[in-house]
Structure 1
C-alpha cells in the first residue's frame, strides 16, 4: 500500500472547488463496485438509494449517518437524522468508473483501479460551493471512506459523528483559506 493512498490520507483540493481523496481498499474492483452501486450495500457506509446503471437516470441518496457505526457518536444539532438528495447518473463503466450529479450543482466521480488483491478508489468531488462546504465535504468523504474500509475488511471504524467532527477540524487546518 502506498502512503499516498493509505487509509488515513487526507483529501486535497486539486483545483478550486474540487476535492480529490484516494483509498486502497481490500478486495476486487467488482466487490468495491457493488458497494458503490447497490443501495443496500452503499447504505452501510454512505447512503441508501436505488440506482439504475444508465447515464441520465435520476436517483435519490438517503443518508442516515447514525446507522453507520455503533455507537454513532454525537450528531451535531444542525444535522437531521435523515438527509435526502436528488442526483442523476452521468457516466457508468462497470466496474471501473461511476459519475453522478451531487444535487443540482456538484458532481462526484469514483474510479476503481485494481492493485493486486486490493483496489485503488479515487473520489473526485467537483463544484463545491464554498470553503465551509469544502471542509465539511472533505471530512465527510474521509469519514465515509473509513467506514467503507472497515466494512470491507470486517473491522470497526470510530463513531461516525465523532470522527467527522475531528476531521472537520483537521480539514479546516489543512485546506487553503
Structure 2
C-alpha cells in the first residue's frame, strides 16, 4: 500500500485530513485542482465558476481514470456511466485555497503552500452532518485520487485505481473503527 508520506488522519469527528508534498510549481498544482480537463484526469471534470458562490459540476467518470480496470461490483454502475455532483465554491483564493461543498452534507478544502520546487497540499474533508460512517470512505477515496494526481504530476505510471481504493478502504475502515471505538463498516 502506498501511503505517500503519511496516511489520512481523522482529525475531528466527521473530519479527515490528508497531507501530500507534490511536484510544483504552485500554479501547476492549482491548475490540476481547478481546470476541468486536468481535474478529470485524476478526480472529476466539469465546469467550475472561479469565485466564491460559484457553481461547480463535478463529473465523475471512473472509466476514464481507470481504463481497462474491472471495478468492484458495488462501483460498477458508477464506473461505467459516471455521475455528476453539484457543488458550490466556499473559498476561492488562487493559487492557495480552494474549498467547495461536496455531496449534500460535507465540504472539502485544498490548501497549497509552496516549499521550494514542491508544493504542500493539505486536503481537509469535513462532514457537516452526522454521517460519520462515510468518513473512512472519504479517506480512501481522496487517498486513491491523490495517488493518481501525484503520478500525473511526477510523470510516473498511475497505480491501479480500484485495487488501490479497495486496499485503502479496508485500511481506513479499520483505522476509523480504532479511532472512534466503533465496529468497522463492511467493505
Shared topology, TM-score over 0.5?
A: yes
**Structure 1, unaligned runs of 5 or more:** 1-5
Q: Tell me, what secondary structure is at the counterpart of 1:90?
A: strand
The CA deviation at 1:156 is 1.4
Aligned residues, how many? 171
1:101 alignment partner in structure 2:
101
1:18 alignment partner in structure 2:
15
Residues 9 and 60 of structure 1, relative CA distance in 2, 3 Å threshold: same
Verify the 8 A CA contact 2:44 2:58 in the aligned structure 1.
yes
**d(CA) in 2 for partners of 1:48, 1:97:** 19
1:67 alignment partner in structure 2:
64
Cα RMSD of the aligned pairs, angstroms, is 1.5
Verify the 8 A CA contact 2:13 2:132 in the aligned structure 1.
no
Verify the 8 A CA contact 1:69 1:158 in the aligned structure 2.
no
The CA deviation at 1:70 is 4.5
**d(CA) in 1 for partners of 2:63, 2:167:** 16
**Structure 2, unaligned runs of 5 or more:** 183-187
The CA deviation at 1:66 is 2.3
Q: Deviation above 6 Å: which 4+ runs of structure 1?
A: none
Q: Tell me, what secondary structure is at the counterpart of 1:50?
A: coil
TM-score normalised by structure 1 residue count: 0.91
TM-score normalised by structure 2 residue count: 0.86
Structure-to-structure mapping, 1:112-127, within 5 angstroms: 112-127=112-127
**d(CA) in 2 for partners of 1:43, 1:60:** 12
